[in-house]
Structure 1
Amino acid sequence: MNVKTFCRQGLLGRLLVTMAVGSLALSAMAAGTIQFAEKYEASEPGGDRCSVPVPAAGSPVKSISFKSGEYNCKNDQYRYFRFDDVPSPTFVVMTSDKQCDDNEWKMGVLTIKHPTSTSWKAIQDIRGTAMGGIVTPGIVKQEDNGKGGTDKGTLSCLEIYAPDP
């Protein structure tokens, strides 16, 4: 092997390693979003809307009270949700209680496809799904305390448990 071939192979090897490590770092940072909408009519979301970023893998639990207005989300406003490029497995808990505890309705879903992107779904559809059943492709129901109604746009809190790194 001559010096030129040796150098080319060395450069190519370093380039491949850099590309592999770089793509791993990007995938660890890319976390997707969960979108919420007040209405869904004529195949389009409408009314008030907001988008919540999903924390990167290995991040601590992210608790969001919509009463605080974080991410421009309004309290007791949303009836529909959609996941966009959410990593798996991410566990998401939605509740009507402003303090994120278990006093009112509380339902949790888990992403099972990596990444998970869905069409718009009614939050109420989670309630109508059997425990462990598929809410929409890529999402299964994991928790439901069975309390209260979910059809009046009473979503107040979100807890997002990012996957382990």
Structure 2
Amino acid sequence: MSYHGCKNDVYSFFTLDNVASAVRIAFGSEKDCRVTGPGYTGDWYYMVKTYIQPTNTSLISLPGVVASAIPGQLLKPGLMFVEGKNKNNKPVEGKLSCLYIWPGTPAS
């Protein structure tokens, strides 16, 4: 995983600009969030997926919108919540340590 200038444990919001359809994005509390689902060992992770080509959003709050979403919930036009977990209801605000993006294909 390469470093792209984001500081650890600072960010709580994100926005999408011209993102292709079927892209999955994971946000995690630990430095590596490539492993999601039952195998994730950190405090929390959340995954979203785009479904419109292109997807553009205003600011989206991780602790306010994403952390309370249920699978399949539409967060914004073009963006759906896929899955997530938060062990022991750990705080999300300002605790983002990982962002991982999987390019998708329209059939995925």
Which TM-score bucket, shorter chain as reference?
0.7 to 0.9
Q: Residues 57-101 of structure 1: CA distance to partner in whole angstroms, max 9, x if unpaired?
A: xxxxxx55xxxxx22110001011000000011000000111325
User: Displacement, 1:104?
Assistant: 1.5
Quick check: which has more Rg, 1 or 2? 1
Misfit runs of 4+, over 6 Å? none
Counterpart of 1:108 (choices 47, 54, 59) is: 47
Give 1:86-165 correspondences, 5 Å limit: 86-100=19-33, 101=35, 102=40, 103-124=42-63, 125-147=65-87, 148-151=90-93, 153-164=94-105
User: Displacement, 1:115?
Assistant: 0.5
The one-letter code matched in structure 1 to 2:55 is T
- The DSSP-based 3-state class of the residue aligned with 1:145 is strand
Aligned CA RMSD, in angstroms, stands at 1.6
Cα distance between partner residues in 2 of 1:85 and 1:108: 18
* Kept after mapping to 1: 8 A contact 2:70/2:83: no
Whose helix proportion is higher, 1 or 2? 1
Greater relative CO, 1 or 2 (CA 8 Å, sep 6+): 2
Q: What are the ranges of 5 or more consecutive residues in structure 2 without an aligned counterpart?
A: none
TM-score (norm 1): 0.55
TM-score (norm 2): 0.81
How many aligned positions are there? 97
The one-letter code matched in structure 2 to 1:89 is A
